[in-house]
Amino acid sequence: MENAGWRMIGVFDSGHGGLTVLRALTMALPDRRFVYLGDHGHAPYGNRSPEEIYALTVQGVDRLFGLGCRLVVLACNTAAAVALRRLQQTWLPHAWPERRVLGVLVPMVEAITGMPWMADVPAGRHAGEPRTIGIFATQRTVDSEAFPREIGKRAPEVTVVQQACPELARLIEADAPRDVIAAAVRGYADGLMERLRGVPPSAVMLGCTHYPLVADAFAAALPPGVELLCQPTLTAKSLTAYLERHPELDAPGGEHPSFHTTGEPGRVTPLATRFFGRPAPFRPLVVEPSRAPLEAI
């Protein structure tokens, strides 16, 4: 049952990475109520099938709506790339027609193309100088082709070159030594530059919410002058503008966010503090899905 007396903005992720997004959101919007749900019990999503990712994402969003959220941000690139569009078009209008779900993929596409997010943008509407953008992301996000597809709709003059970083999120969560992480990032950066035949891109996107924690390693591994685009800051700017346009979805009355997990709070909380930048005490999720996830199971 929804908490009718108050509203919150939900932030959903498969694990810890979305805490970097939540950190930026709370800094940009300190007077809003946020609640975070980490699906640690089913993480990582990157090794799961698209159908599993979709079903788990729908279930997580449904639970956040049940807690009182009218708006949920998918702070997981894998969930946003695989599930967001289908969720918005099929499940959401039937289950929660007055609620909204946004994703971290959207602000990155907007930043690259200079165009607001619209579902059907004819190719060629955004004419500009040809340029090349590199994207570092998880294997599942790369396989989804979500970034190239959505950027291509809005800015066909932009060439998108992707580089999967299969082990990087795991190394970051394991708090691996900095030299180990730096070596892994150099390998991924070398892979991208090989695909680009040594010609530096105009910018690179860190397409995983874990990667901002090691942005310095990417900056050191890439040619000088390549711009780094990180999702937390862009997502915060995008959400701020979105709430100005949709005040009915706002959640005034800021306080310390609440943190929920489908895993074991005792194991989740210590690592979470590193991602969030301050204490992030998790509690067990006790809210079950309130409505049948249509098209999901």
pLDDT in tens, 165-215: 999 998 998 889 999 999 999 999 999 999 999 999 999 999 999 999 999
> How does residue 106 score in pLDDT terms, banded at 50, 70 and 90?
confident
Structural domain includes residue 191: yes
Q: What are phi and psi of 49, to 5 degrees?
A: -75, 160
Q: Express each pLDDT in 84-100 by its tens digit.
A: 999 999 999 999 999 99
What counts of helices (H) and strands (E) characterise the chain? 12, 10
**Does the residue 36 lie in any domain?**
yes
Q: For the segment 152-167, what is each residue's pLDDT rounded down to a tens digit? A: 888 889 999 999 999 9
Answer whether residue 291 is part of any domain: no
The answer as to whether 292 is a domain residue is: no
Q: Are residue 112 and residue 13 in the same domain, yes or no?
A: no
The span from the CA of 124 to the CA of 41, in Å, is 43
- Which of 40, 2, 27, 65 minimizes the C-alpha distance to 232? 27
- Same structural domain, 42 and 120: no
Q: How far apart are CA 235 and CA 75, in angstroms?
A: 9
Q: Is 179 exposed, middle or buried (0-12, 13-18, 19+ CB in 10 A)?
A: exposed
Q: How far apart are CA 6 and CA 199, in angstroms?
A: 52
Are both 240 and 219 inside the same structural domain?
A: no
Distance in angstroms (rounded) separating the CA atoms of residues 34 and 235: 14
Average model confidence (pLDDT) across the chain: 88
Supply the residues annotated as catalytic: 76, 208
In a domain, 202, yes or no: yes
Considering the domain architecture, whether residues 219 and 241 belong to the same structural domain is answered as: no
Do 59 and 80 lie in a common domain? yes
Tell whether the model's pLDDT for residue 36 goes beyond 80: yes
Give residue 290's pLDDT. Answer: 66
At 7, the pLDDT band (50, 70, 90 cuts) reads confident
Phi-psi region of 253 (alpha: psi -120 to 50; beta: other; left: phi over 0): left
pLDDT at residue 4 greater than cutoff 70: no
Q: What percent of the chain has pLDDT over 90?
A: 67
Torsion of CA 100, 5, 258, 56, to 10 degrees: -40
- Can you give the CATH number for the domain in which 111 is found? 3.40.50.1860
Least confident of 91-95, 116-120, 181-185, 239-243: 116-120
* Shared domain check, 183 and 114: yes
Q: Is residue 83 in some structural domain?
A: yes
Model confidence band, residue 125 (pLDDT cutoffs 50, 70, 90): very low
Strands ordered across the beta sheet of 34-38:
100-103, 69-74, 8-13, 34-38, 258-261, 282-284
End-to-end CA distance of the chain: 21
Q: Are residues 120 and 223 in the same domain?
A: yes
Least confident of 8-12, 45-49, 79-83, 211-215: 45-49
Residue 290 lies in a domain: no
> Which candidate, 189, 137, 207, places its Cα nearest to that of 166?
137
210 and 239 in a single domain? The answer is no
237 shares a domain with 226:
no
Whether residue 42 is found in the same domain as residue 90: yes
State whether residue 26 is helix, strand or coil: helix
The stretch 260-286 carries a mean pLDDT of: 93
Is residue 23 pLDDT above 90, yes or no? yes
Q: Are residues 98 and 133 in the same domain?
A: no
| 266 & 193 share domain | no
Q: Report the number of distinct structural domains present in the chain.
A: 2
Closest alpha carbon to 274 in 231, 206, 219, 214:
214
Does residue 276 have a pLDDT over 90?
Answer: yes
Lowest mean pLDDT among 26-40, 182-196, 252-266: 252-266
Using an 8 Å Cβ cutoff, are 31 and 48 in contact?
no
pLDDT in tens, 65-81: 999 999 999 999 889 98
Domain extent at residue 264: 8-103+233-284
- Is 148 among the domain residues? yes
